[in-house]
Amino acid sequence: MKKYILYTIVFTFFMSSAVFAQAKNEDGFIQSDTIRQGKNVQLVALPIIFYTPETKFGFGGGGQLFLLNQTNEYNQRLSNIFFSAIYTSEGQFIFEATPQIYLGSGNYFIDMFYTFRIFPNSFWGIGATTPEDNKESYNQTTNKFDITLLKRLPPNLNFGLSLNFANYKITEVLEGGILDSGAVPGSDGATISGMGAVFNLDSRDDIGAPQAGNYLSLAARFSSELFGATHAFNKFILDLRTYQRIAKKSILAFRLYVENNYGDVPFQGMASYGGSKYARGYFNGRFIDKHMYILQAEYRWRFKERWTLAGFGLFGSVNDEAGDLFSFNNLKPSFGGGIRFKLIKDKSTWLRLDYGKGIDGQSGIYFGVNEAF
């Protein structure tokens, strides 16, 4: 595992530099680490190599396409499209695209997400106390698309509506296993489809790596058979973040994330504990249930203009009943740290490498783009 960490750091940063050096200016690509202004479109290429508990060793490529003439004039954020294609040693294929487009000088914001996944995965059952020996493998193909249209309400408020669609096709399960029994909602596949509403307050100084400000998001989503869903349920999400400067080059970042689901919830739509953004140190989906909360804090020291060191700690849990969620039973704590590197001097695109360690032997190495929150 230590070998993978070293390979990730050396290969990723080395290849990123090589991409910049070889890119051709006449084609609109980056020639150096500074994007030239005046062009309508600019592309940053990203080689990707990583290791996580869910994927093991993975590699691929991606990029971030900046639309230089589509700017939010109120906070100078650029419209952009991030995309990536990845293949892993577990036989998983993942394609993702996340367009973020500002219209009307920033008065309107379109936030989209699409993913296609062929994803052999692991399942332990539902709940906070599922034993390790419950583990079984299954294969699933996913098509997921979300689009949210937000209207700016000055100065930092946004309100909008969303359309959400996800199709989960189970292609293989363990014979005689938990999913094979048919007792788990979604074990024979699921379609989640419906609408939602989003309200947020966003005063962050930077989306990729905030150094100051706050973020508050309230979201409600409704999956309904009227939209072609196989399961009808409601999802409510509270996401609170704050960034407090404690020294010239240091900040403390805090995040509280709460998710509640009510109704006929397939396991694919349940709250999932773990992963590179919500609970580093745990396999993403090691613990799932209808309700979840995660509280995390992270110290970030930007010791150079384009380099940051970070250390984090977190705890949380999942539960079948919302009323029992904050009873502090079955807590899942973890801690860890990592390093970040800013790819382009005047654009907020950061490479992030973290190591997290949980309890009961859980741990993970995470490579991503921009901060976890």
Q: With 80 as the cut, is the pLDDT of residue 56 above it?
A: yes
Structure confidence at residue 37 (pLDDT) = 44
Structure confidence at residue 364 (pLDDT) = 87
Structure confidence at residue 24 (pLDDT) = 34
**Would you give the distance in Å from CA 236 to the centre of its chain?**
17
Give the whole-angstrom CA distance, residue 341 versus residue 371: 10
Q: With 80 as the cut, is the pLDDT of residue 116 above it?
A: yes
Q: With 90 as the cut, is the pLDDT of residue 344 above it?
A: no
Bigger pLDDT: 357 vs 6 = 357
Give the whole-angstrom CA distance, residue 211 versus residue 250: 8
Structure confidence at residue 230 (pLDDT) = 97
Bigger pLDDT: 1 vs 219 = 219
Mean pLDDT within 173-195: 96
Structure confidence at residue 64 (pLDDT) = 86
* Confidence label for 55 from pLDDT (cuts 50, 70 and 90): confident
3-state SS string for the chain: CHHHHHHHHHHHHHHHHHHHHHCCHHHCECCCCCCCCCCCEEEEEEEEEEEECCCEEEEEEEEEEEEEEEEECCCCEEEEEEEEEEEECCCCEEEEEEEEEEEHHHCEEEEEEEEEEEEEEEECCCCCCCCHHHCEEEEEEEEEEEEEEEEEECCCEEEEEEEEEEEEEEEEECCCCCHHHCCCCCCCCEEEEEEEEEEEEECCCCCCCCCCEEEEEEEEEEECHHHCCCCCEEEEEEEEEEEEEEECCEEEEEEEEEEEEEECCCHHHCEEECECCCECCCCCCCEEECEEEEEEEEEEEEEECCEEEEEEEEEEEEECCHHHCCCCCCCCCEEEEEEEEEEECCEEEEEEEEEEECCCCCEEEEEEECCCC
Contact 70, 103 (CB under 8 A): yes
* Confidence label for 22 from pLDDT (cuts 50, 70 and 90): very low
* Confidence label for 349 from pLDDT (cuts 50, 70 and 90): confident
Structure confidence at residue 6 (pLDDT) = 36
Bigger pLDDT: 1 vs 257 = 257
Bigger pLDDT: 173 vs 349 = 173
Q: With 60 as the cut, is the pLDDT of residue 88 above it?
A: yes
Cβ-based neighbour number of residue 41 at 10 Å: 12
Q: With 50 as the cut, is the pLDDT of residue 23 above it?
A: no
Question: What's the pLDDT tens digit per position in 293-332?
Answer: 999 999 999 999 999 999 999 999 999 998 888 877 889 9
Question: What's the pLDDT tens digit per position in 196-214?
Answer: 999 999 999 988 899 999 9
Question: What's the pLDDT tens digit per position in 118-169?
Answer: 999 999 999 999 999 999 999 999 999 999 999 998 888 999 999 999 999 9
Structure confidence at residue 315 (pLDDT) = 96
Q: With 50 as the cut, is the pLDDT of residue 57 above it?
A: yes
Structure confidence at residue 71 (pLDDT) = 81
Contact 225, 264 (CB under 8 A): no
Bigger pLDDT: 238 vs 74 = 238
* Confidence label for 254 from pLDDT (cuts 50, 70 and 90): very high
Beta bridge partners of 307: 304, 341
Residue percentage of the chain with pLDDT more than 90: 68
Q: With 60 as the cut, is the pLDDT of residue 74 above it?
A: yes
pTM of the entire structure? 0.85
Mean pLDDT within 46-52: 79
